[in-house]
Structure 1
Amino acid sequence: MQRFSISVVFYLLILRPFVYGQLDYRFYDSKCPNLTKIVRFGIWSAMANDTRIAASLLRLHFHDCISNGCEGSVLLDASSSFQSEKDANPNRNSARGFELIDTIKANVEKACPSTVSCADILTLAAREAVFLTGGPYWSLAMGRRDGLTANITAANTDIPSPFEPLENITAKFTTKGLNLNDVVVLSGAHTIGFAQCFTFKPRLFDFHGSGAPDPQLDASLATSLQGVCPNQDDSDTNLVPLDAVTTTKFDNIYFKRLVNNSGILGSDQALMSDNRTAQMVINYSKFPFLFAKDFGASMAKLSTVGVITGQDGQVRNKCNVVN
């Protein structure tokens, strides 16, 4: 009996790296062995012409998973039966990367017809985008199926806003099975990418009716941002890098900037207002390898939120429409 128990435990330990619920780390090994190469090449090619695309793909994956689960609903166009999540407030005129995902999907279909879901492609694309910008690489269990509908209400309510207090943002994470550490480390995705002026302009001129900038914002940075984002409506869509030091490199400079009161978004700088999250920020600012390790772990965790597996959902032929 003891030998049998030891054998079972050993078997489970061997199996564990390859199975996550109904997702499998070897899901496409025989079905589509070149999948990762196809996705990586597609992103690498796009990055040559669009330095923002890596951040856009990472954001697109997050918005998909945090609102309706990682089932590719953010990719769907509107239909007669549902509104598109592309039109939700957090996505409208800001979410990008749809055309690239469509292109990658088409290339995957040529190699492996009706095999790889759009949800899996988007999940892989987020990892490859991070990796190609110098960030960590993490193992991903595959086998997600695509959803059959979109949920604009969930997209409007579940995706965190840069204007929300930290406790609200944390609540949106915890309802999805994520925790406070995930909030901090996944915020580190802002080490790449840009923000439109309207997302932080209230911090620059009349913060909470004070007639002055947010006192938590470094004074010299506030002056610089006022030049790019003057107090007029036609500047609302101007872009500012979230990390002006290493804008296109995935590293831990974002956290160093928070420590120095140089976070662009109020929701980012708020991480320094809570003793628990502030200590995490300080640790990540000092130890880049810790950030890389934890970011990969949290991204893998995020990628399992609300997944559809087995015979549920479908593998879409095109990512923007249901079959």
Structure 2
Amino acid sequence: MSRKLYILVIYLVTVSLRLGSVSSQLSVDFYQQTCPNVDSIVTKAFTSIAQQDNVVPSSLLRLFAHDCFVEFYIQGCDGSILISSTANNTAERDAADNINFPPNPFDAMAKVKKTVEAACPGVVSCADILAMGARDVVVFAGGPSWNVFKGRRDGRISEASRTAGLIPGANFNVDQLVANFALSNLTVSDMIVLSGAHTVGFSHCQQFTNRLYKFSSNVTTDPSMSRDYAAILEKQCPQFGGDPGTVQAFDITTPFTFDNDYYQDLQQGKGLLFSDQVLFNDLRTRDLVNQLAANQTFFFSAFTQAMIKFGMVGVKTGSVGEIRRDCAVVN
């Protein structure tokens, strides 16, 4: 066994043991004595906000994912993405991979945190509120619900420099996606299922215009993209003179509904990002894509299990971290 392979094996074993230890410290009824109505408080608050702002569901779900992906062994799902930058520190939320986040999910988190603090001051972490919120916005959009295991504590470190290479890229191929998700102890199946979160939400033109105009030195448009779909995207995102703030829905048919249309789009060559469409193009992942496209109940069940697993990545428990009074500021 090579030294690099040996180090990787030890690393993954350590991660698996740590995740097992962490999961035993989280529980569905963690706040039973200290804030027994926290789930209903959070659900009511997020639902009210989502009813007034249709950007919140998809952007909050993405916010949760980006929080969990970053340096999972040190940070992970610890609410560090919510911390604001200061004169002396550029925080995670202002990193290149997060710069296009709208203010909506951050504002929603601030409002819900205040509501929870009014009922149970100094008890519930921002990280747990974000995890519960990710569930609630999926339900609001028509998706499945699941039990959120709670007990996370908030991280005190948030640095833009720590995000580099940890957020899945729009142009990742399957090998890159598998390696990226493996860093969070997630399997190939987890990766395919969690990618289904793109059934809601939007992406900026800059994330996919290379597929329209500069796919390769020999090919202008990605040949795996439906020609009709490419024509629609070209109108939305012209090669020259377009608005850099323009966005396009991942799921062109039901962009605000959580369903399995995302996978059906991939079958038709209508995956927005290269990292979306490649899941169908690659024979190693196509079979599961087809199964998820054919059975929404199966997708919902798989998604809930993957989200529970994802939500336990790199969490802080016990005396590690803190319970922030303001999600944007370290105590």
SS at match of 1:46: helix
Residues 1:163 and 2:171 aligned together: yes
Shift in Å, 1:274: 2.1
Q: Which runs of 4+ in 1 moved over 2 A?
A: 79-83, 93-96, 209-212, 233-237
Residues 1:21 and 2:24 aligned together: yes
Residues 1:280 and 2:283 aligned together: no
Mapping of residues 1-323 of structure 1, within 5 Å? 20-68=23-71, 69-79=76-86, 82-96=89-103, 97-210=105-218, 212-232=220-240, 234-323=242-331
Q: Deviations over 1:51-110 (max 9, x none)?
A: 121000000000000113000100001235642111111110325410110110011000
Structure 2: distance between partners of 1:51 and 1:156: 29
Shift in alpha-carbon separation, 1:102–1:264, aligned structure 2, 3 A = same
Shift in Å, 1:151: 3.1
SS at match of 1:24: coil
Shift in Å, 1:153: 2.4
Shift in Å, 1:212: 2.6
Please tell me whether the aligned partners of residues 228 and 238 of structure 1 are also in contact (alpha carbons under 8 angstroms): yes
Please tell me whether the aligned partners of residues 60 and 95 of structure 1 are also in contact (alpha carbons under 8 angstroms): no
Please tell me whether the aligned partners of residues 125 and 324 of structure 2 are also in contact (alpha carbons under 8 angstroms): yes
Identity value in percent: 37
Shift in Å, 1:49: 2.5
**Which ranges of structure 1 fall in alignment gaps of 5 or more residues?**
1-18
Shift in Å, 1:281: 0.4
Please tell me whether the aligned partners of residues 67 and 155 of structure 1 are also in contact (alpha carbons under 8 angstroms): yes
Shift in alpha-carbon separation, 1:166–1:236, aligned structure 2, 3 A = farther
TM-score of the pair, normalised by structure 2: 0.89
Pairwise CA RMSD of aligned residues? 1.4
Shift in Å, 1:166: 2.0
Match for 2:49: what amino acid? A
Shift in Å, 1:132: 1.0
Structure 1: distance between partners of 2:26 and 2:241: 47
Match for 2:205: what amino acid? C
Please tell me whether the aligned partners of residues 200 and 264 of structure 1 are also in contact (alpha carbons under 8 angstroms): yes
Q: Deviations over 1:132-181 (max 9, x none)?
A: 11111111210000011113223222011102222112111101110100
Structure 2: distance between partners of 1:279 and 1:233: 40
TM-score of the pair, normalised by structure 1: 0.91
Structure 2: distance between partners of 1:95 and 1:306: 25
Structure 1: distance between partners of 2:162 and 2:24: 24
Please tell me whether the aligned partners of residues 224 and 281 of structure 2 are also in contact (alpha carbons under 8 angstroms): no
SS at match of 2:242: helix
Q: How many residues align?
A: 305
Larger displacement relative to structure 2 (281-290 or 208-217): 208-217
Match for 2:92: what amino acid? E
Larger displacement relative to structure 2 (132-141 or 77-86): 77-86
Shift in Å, 1:239: 1.1
